[in-house]
Structure 1
Amino acid sequence: MLRLEDLNLFVRSAALGSFSSAAREADLPPGQVSAAIQRLERELDLRLFVRSTRSLRLTAEGERYLPYATDVLALLHEGHERSRSEEGDLSGILQVSAPSDVGRNVLLPWITAFCASHPRLSLRLLLSDRVSDVFREPVDVAIRYGLAEDASYVALPLAPENRRVLVASPGYLAAQGRPANLDDLSRHRCVLYLLGGRIYDKWVFPVEGKRRQVAVNGAMICDDADVARRWAVAGQGIAYKSWLDVCADVEAGTLEVVLPGQPGESAPLSLICPHRKQFSPAVRQLQALLRERLAPLEARLRGIATP
């Protein structure tokens, strides 16, 4: 008889490419994972993995079997969640990843309140600017900026009209002057962002239906979006940020929008999941709550632009 824990270890081993990684994730000895896979292979009369001292990969049979195993686990999880979630009484573990800035400064109080209203629900919140792979990492959903380029993902909109904006502190603008157009950006200090080893020093703007790329310079570079925002508030230069990240600073007067008549690059915020069946009641309710709360912030972005 197939064991669900063996099936789950098979799916996670395939995703992580390692028995030892799957064992660490499940807090099990590596030998126990290997034994589980061997047991599953005997039950199925299939060889699922090709093993060597340095690598682990699925066999052709394993590749064909993997989507069925994934669907079975997702269906059982959904049934479990639905059976325990009558009248909004959510339970279980909800694992969410989100970008550092919007996650910490915008979404955090709403997610905290959401969990407080469902005391049987446990939250695991991962804040990082590194893009989470929802197929490989143990998260239910990932909150992400940008358009979903992978058609295998399922995306639910949170703030579909969000855009990037140029911002700087009043002190910086008073000392260095205000750019009159995009060309002026090359003569200003800019706060730069580092992600995946790449420095984002070429900012993209929609101009007359095309994408215009503007090269910028700056001595302040970081790999944390929240730090970039704080540097801009401290007067270290001009930043090109998601409106959701800086709208509170703009309203507080600690940042000003630069070139408000120039639209910024589209930066829709979405909730990403590897499979629609994994949209549990908790995920669906959280998505509805966040979209409702983010809608007024999007409306304020429309209000700052000038023709």
Structure 2
Amino acid sequence: MVRFEDLRIFVSAADHGSFSAAARELDLTPAVASAALKRLELTLETRLFVRSTRSLRLTADGERYLEYARSAIATLDAGRNALARDKTAISGTLSISVPSDLGRNVLLPWLDEFQRRHPRVGFQVRISDRLADLFRQPVDIAVRYGTPADSSLVALPLSESNRRVVCASPAYLARHGTPQTPVDLRRHNCLSFVLGESLHDRWTFERDGVSQTVPVKGDRVSDDGELVRRWALAGCGVAYKSRYDVLEDLRAGRLVQLFGDHQGEPSPLYLLCVHRMLLSPAVKRLRACLQERFAAFEVG
């Protein structure tokens, strides 16, 4: 069996015309290089070099074999490089779960752009506001608001500065008036979101380090964040939404943010998975891309 290392030493010695030079190039001792050449000659049952105390030259068999040795080394190097590229390649199919509102209106265009840049990446997208059971469902990663309650999940921040905002359409405010303080929400139709069995009907605000929670009520409740946003756009009531979900609506004037001197509760955004072994090169690149896009999204 011909050793790969022996082939390298043979080619280097042929190129340099010296065992010592080949040994220096490959960071070996001259004795190791000489032993490798002897081993190769024994395996091939032929002399590859004519040696003297002052020179080293290839025999006729050595000349013929050199071409094959170079080819073998090039092929093996190409195979090794291909495997190395595969380990870092941005490729494969990612199954990703995204929130209803943010997913449809913000993330999906960004995923399209990511796929155009990396055409070897495919996506299986699940849209739901419920946190996917990453241990049971065929989901690689999930994008979700809020620090996950399950501490066994790997949670990588995408944006930690996001908060909830209270907003309503100009048409609703024209009909019902503009609430001036969070307490005024008790006299308004508040559009509530329900997640699982939990009704989000207590809205929390912070001003000058003081926290305030206001119970709200209204005639519409949904477990779909996108539907709550559509109700707000249609003038059906006041919504308490992640700022990212309504940022473009606020900038376009379709919705108006209320209580600018009060901060809504934090709503950081995370990329979740069950184990760090699932953080493939594609996932890492996607996370970096999303972090950049959210940072740019913030400043418009």
Task: Please indicate, yes or no, whether the TM-score normalized by the shorter chain is above 0.5.
Answer: yes
Equivalent position of 2:219 in the other structure: 219
Which whole-Å CA distance do the structure 2 matches of 1:81 and 1:118 have between them?
Answer: 19
**1:143 Cα deviation from its structure 2 partner:** 0.3
Equivalent position of 1:278 in the other structure: 278
After superposition, the Cα gap between the structure-2 partners of 1:147 and 1:299, relative to the gap in structure 1 and judged at 3 Å, is farther
The answer to whether the aligner puts 1:144 opposite 2:157 as a matched pair is no
For residues 3-82 of structure 1, what are the structure 2 equivalents within 5 Å?
A: none
Equivalent position of 2:289 in the other structure: 289
Long gaps (5+) in structure 2: 1-81
Q: Which runs of 4+ in 1 moved over 6 A?
A: none
Say if 2:207 and 2:261, in contact at 8 Å, map to a contact too.
no
Equivalent position of 1:184 in the other structure: 184
Which whole-Å CA distance do the structure 1 matches of 2:185 and 2:298 have between them?
Answer: 25
Which whole-Å CA distance do the structure 2 matches of 1:130 and 1:274 have between them?
Answer: 16
Say if 1:161 and 1:298, in contact at 8 Å, map to a contact too.
no
More deviation in 193-202 or 259-268?
A: 193-202
More deviation in 121-130 or 143-152?
A: 143-152
Equivalent position of 2:165 in the other structure: 165
TM-score (norm 2): 0.69
Which whole-Å CA distance do the structure 2 matches of 1:128 and 1:98 have between them?
Answer: 6
TM-score (norm 1): 0.68
Say if 1:157 and 1:271, in contact at 8 Å, map to a contact too.
yes
Residue type of the alignment partner of 1:150: D
State the Cα deviation string for residues 225-245 of structure 1 (Å, max 9, x = none): 001001101100110000000
State the Cα deviation string for residues 27-86 of structure 1 (Å, max 9, x = none): xxxxxxxxxxxxxxxxxxxxxxxxxxxxxxxxxxxxxxxxxxxxxxxxxxxxx9975255
Long gaps (5+) in structure 1: 1-79, 301-307
Partner SS for 2:105: helix
**1:147 Cα deviation from its structure 2 partner:** 1.2
Residue type of the alignment partner of 1:286: L
Which whole-Å CA distance do the structure 2 matches of 1:253 and 1:244 have between them?
Answer: 15
Partner SS for 1:143: strand
- What percent of counterpart residues are identical? 47
Say if 1:164 and 1:264, in contact at 8 Å, map to a contact too.
yes
Equivalent position of 1:33 in the other structure: none
**1:189 Cα deviation from its structure 2 partner:** 0.8
**1:217 Cα deviation from its structure 2 partner:** 1.1
Equivalent position of 1:229 in the other structure: 229
Which whole-Å CA distance do the structure 2 matches of 1:174 and 1:260 have between them?
Answer: 19
**1:151 Cα deviation from its structure 2 partner:** 2.4
Which whole-Å CA distance do the structure 1 matches of 2:128 and 2:259 have between them?
Answer: 29
RMSD between superposed Cα atoms in Å: 1.9
Partner SS for 1:152: coil
Which whole-Å CA distance do the structure 2 matches of 1:81 and 1:127 have between them?
Answer: 35
Equivalent position of 1:84 in the other structure: 86
Partner SS for 1:267: coil
Equivalent position of 2:39 in the other structure: none
Equivalent position of 2:238 in the other structure: 238
Equivalent position of 2:26 in the other structure: none
Q: How many pairs does the alignment contain?
A: 219
Which whole-Å CA distance do the structure 2 matches of 1:209 and 1:272 have between them?
Answer: 30
Equivalent position of 1:93 in the other structure: 93
Say if 1:82 and 1:281, in contact at 8 Å, map to a contact too.
no
